[in-house]
Amino acid sequence: MLLNSEVEIALLNQSLGNPNLAAEPFREEKLIMFAAPSHPLVRKAELTLSDLSNAPFVATGGKGTASTTEKILKRFWHQGLRASVAIRCGTPEAVKAIVKNGIGVGILFQDTVIPEIRKKVFKPIKFPGLRLVGQSYIVYYKDRPLSANAREFLSLLRKKADKVRRPALNQQLRSFL
C-alpha cells in the first residue's frame, strides 16, 4: 500500500531496503515459535538444534524479501541451526492455516498467535537460548511531503517509539551500575 501511494506511512516488520524510503525503528516485538498440538516437536521434552534443523518452517514474505523468520534462523546459523523456510505465505493467517494442519512450524509476532495458543489450537515451542525478537519500523517516502494528518501521526508514532525504547535503555543502564 505504501509503495502504491495508497498510504503515506506504514508500520512494517522490515525496512524494505528501498533508498527512497525512510525506515525508523519503532519497537522490538516478541515472536513465538509454534506448531499444531500433534506436531512431533511439541511432544519432545527437550529440543536439540538437530530437531529444529529438520523442521519445515513456514514464513511470510515473497521472493527477494527476507522474512522475520528467515532472519531469526540465519542469526542462529553459527550455533549449528541449519533450518530453512520450506513454505512461504502471503499473510500470517496463511502461515497459521498451514501450521494448524501440522505441515510445519511457524514463527510469528506473539500478538498474532496468542489467541490460538489460549484456545489450544497451537502449542508454543520453547528452545533455550533462542531469543525471538523482531523489529518493526515506521516507513515513509523520504522526498514526498507528508500531509498534516500524516505528520501528526508520525509525531505520535515517534513519541510512542521513544516511550517503548526508554525503559529498555534504562534497564540496560541499571545493569551496568
Is pLDDT of 66 > 70?
A: no
Rounded Cα distance between 11 and 2, Å, is 10
Model confidence band, residue 128 (pLDDT cutoffs 50, 70, 90)? confident
Q: What is the mean pLDDT of residues 68-78?
A: 70
Is pLDDT of 175 > 50?
A: no
Of residues 140 and 5, the one with the higher pLDDT is 140
59-83: b or e for each residue (b if 16 or more CB lie within 10 Å)?
A: bbbeeeeebbbbebbeebeeeebeb
Is pLDDT of 19 > 70?
A: yes
Q: Which region, left, alpha or beta, applies to residue 73 given φ > 0 means left and ψ of -120 to 50 means alpha?
A: alpha
Length of the chain: 177
Rounded Cα distance between 79 and 128, Å, is 12
Q: Average pLDDT, whole number, for the chain?
A: 82
Q: What does pTM read for this prediction?
A: 0.71
Quick: pLDDT tens for 31-48.
Answer: 899 999 999 999 888 888
Rounded Cα distance between 56 and 84, Å, is 7
Q: Which region, left, alpha or beta, applies to residue 139 given φ > 0 means left and ψ of -120 to 50 means alpha?
A: beta
134-144: b or e for each residue (b if 16 or more CB lie within 10 Å)?
A: bbbbbbbbeee
CATH 3.30.360.10 correct for 27-134: no
Is pLDDT of 166 > 60?
A: no
Model confidence band, residue 18 (pLDDT cutoffs 50, 70, 90)? confident
The domain segmentation of the chain, as residue ranges, is 27-134
CB–CB of 23/50 below 8 Å?
no
Looking at residue 124, its pLDDT comes to 94
* DSSP β-bridge partners for residue 140: 9, 22
